[in-house]
A and B are shown apart, each in its own frame.
Chain A
Amino acid sequence: MKRFVFAVVLMLAPCPGLWPFAAQAQDNIRVVGSSTVFPFATAAAEEFGNTSPFKTPIVEATGTGGGLKLFCGGIGTNHPDVVNASRRIKKAEVDVCSANGVTDIVEVKIGFDGIVLAASKDAPSMRLRLRDLYLALAAQVPVPGTDGGVGNLVENPYRRWSEINPNLPNVEISVLGPPPTSGTRDAFNEIAIEGGCRTFEGMHALEQSDPSRFFALCRSVREDGLYIEAGENDNLIVQKIVGNSGAIGIFGYSFLSQNADILQSYSISKSGGPFLQPTFDAIADGSYPISRSLFLYAKKAHIGVVPGIQEFIREFISERASGDFGYLLDRGLIPLSRDELKASLNAANNLIGLELN
Chain B
Amino acid sequence: MTDNTRNILDQQVDWHSPKVRARLRRRHRTDFLFRAIGFSAVAAAGLFLVFLLGNIIKNGAPGFLQTSIEVDVAFDPSLLPDPTLERAEFAAAMARVDLQRLLRQSLLDHFPEVSGRADTIRLTRMLSSGARAQLRDILVRNPAVVGTTGKVWLLASDEVDQVVKGNVDISLPEQNRKLKNKELVWLQRFESEGRVSLSFHSRFITAGDSREPELVGVWGAIVGSGLTLLVTLLTAFPIGVASAIYLEEFAPKNRFTDIVEVNINNLAAVPSIVFGLLGLAFFLGVMGMARSAPIVGGLTLALLTLPTIIISARAAIAAVPPSIRDAARGLGASSMQVAFHHVVPLAMPGILTGTIIGMARALGESAPLLMIGMVAFIVDVPGGVNDPATVLPVQIFLWADSPERAFIEKTSAAIMVLLFFLIAMNGMAIWLRQRFERKW
**Chain A residues proximal to chain B, CB less than 8 Å:** 1-2, 5-6, 9, 12-16, 19, 21, 23-24, 26, 28, 30, 35, 38-39, 41-43, 45-46, 49-50, 55-56, 58-61, 77-78, 232-236, 254-255, 258-261, 325, 327, 330-332
Contact = CB atoms under 8 A, between A and B. Distances in A.
A56 B379 contact: yes
Given A30-B291, A258-B178, A261-B168, A1 B234 contact: no
A43 B211 CA distance: 6
Given A1-B436, A12-B234, A55 B345 contact: no
Contacts of B341: 2
B176 interface: yes
A233 B377 contact: no
A42 B401 CA distance: 13
A23 B289 contact: yes
Nearest to A325: B121
B428 to A, nearest CB: 14
B402 interface: yes
A261 B169 contact: yes
Given A16-B235, A56-B379, A58-B378, A258 B388 contact: no
B239 interface: yes
B177 interface: yes
Interface of B: 117-118, 121, 125, 129, 133, 168-169, 172, 175-178, 210-212, 231, 233-235, 237-239, 241, 284, 287-293, 295, 299, 302, 340-341, 344-345, 348, 373, 375-380, 385-386, 388, 400-405, 436
A58 B295 contact: no
Given A2-B341, A16-B299, A24-B290, 13 more contacts: A1-B436, A9-B238, A9-B241, A15-B238, A16-B234, A16-B302, A19-B231, A19-B295, A38-B401, A56-B378, A78-B288, A258-B405, A261-B177
The 7 nearest A-B residue pairs measured at CB: A59-B377, A56-B379, A60-B376, A42-B377, A258-B403, A43-B211, A261-B176
Contacts of B133: 50
Given A58-B388, A78-B290, A331-B403, A5 B373 contact: no
A12 B299 contact: no
10 contacts: A9-B241, A12-B233, A12-B237, A19-B231, A21-B295, A39-B211, A60-B373, A260-B176, A261-B168, A330-B125
Nearest to A56: B379
Given A12-B233, A49-B379, A58-B292, A1 B400 contact: no
A37 to B, nearest CB: 12
Given A5-B348, A9-B241, A24 B386 contact: yes
Nearest to B401: A233
Nearest to B295: A21
A14 B295 contact: no
B211 to A, nearest CB: 4
B284 A78 contact: yes
B91 to A, nearest CB: 14
A6 B343 CA distance: 12
Given A61-B375, A325-B121, A255 B290 contact: no
B71 to A, nearest CB: 21
A1 B345 contact: yes
B121 A332 contact: no
Contacts of A43: 211
A39 B129 contact: no
Nearest to A255: B403
A218 B292 CA distance: 39
Given A23-B288, A39-B211, A46-B211, A12 B238 contact: yes
B345 to A, nearest CB: 5
Contacts of B375: 60-61
Contacts of B121: 325
A14 B234 contact: yes
Nearest to B355: A12
Nearest to A45: B377
Contacts of A330: 125
Contact of B403 (A13, A15, A59, A332): A332
Contacts of A12: 233-234, 237-238
A45 B290 contact: no
A325 B116 CA distance: 13
B403 A39 contact: yes
Contacts of A16: 234-235, 299, 302
Most chain B beta carbons < 10 A, residue from A14, A16, A28, A330: A16
Contacts of A49: 379-380
Nearest to B400: A235
Contact of B210 (A5, A46, A235, A255): A46
A9 B436 CA distance: 16
B211 A21 contact: no
Contacts of B175: 260
A61 B237 CA distance: 33
A16 B296 CA distance: 11
Nearest to A239: B408
A77 B290 contact: yes
Nearest to A256: B403
Nearest to A233: B401
Contact of B289 (A21, A28, A331): A21
A354 to B, nearest CB: 24
A23 B288 CA distance: 8
Contacts of B290: 21, 23-24, 26, 77-78
Given A39-B402, A234-B403, A56 B380 contact: yes
A26 B172 CA distance: 49
B420 to A, nearest CB: 24
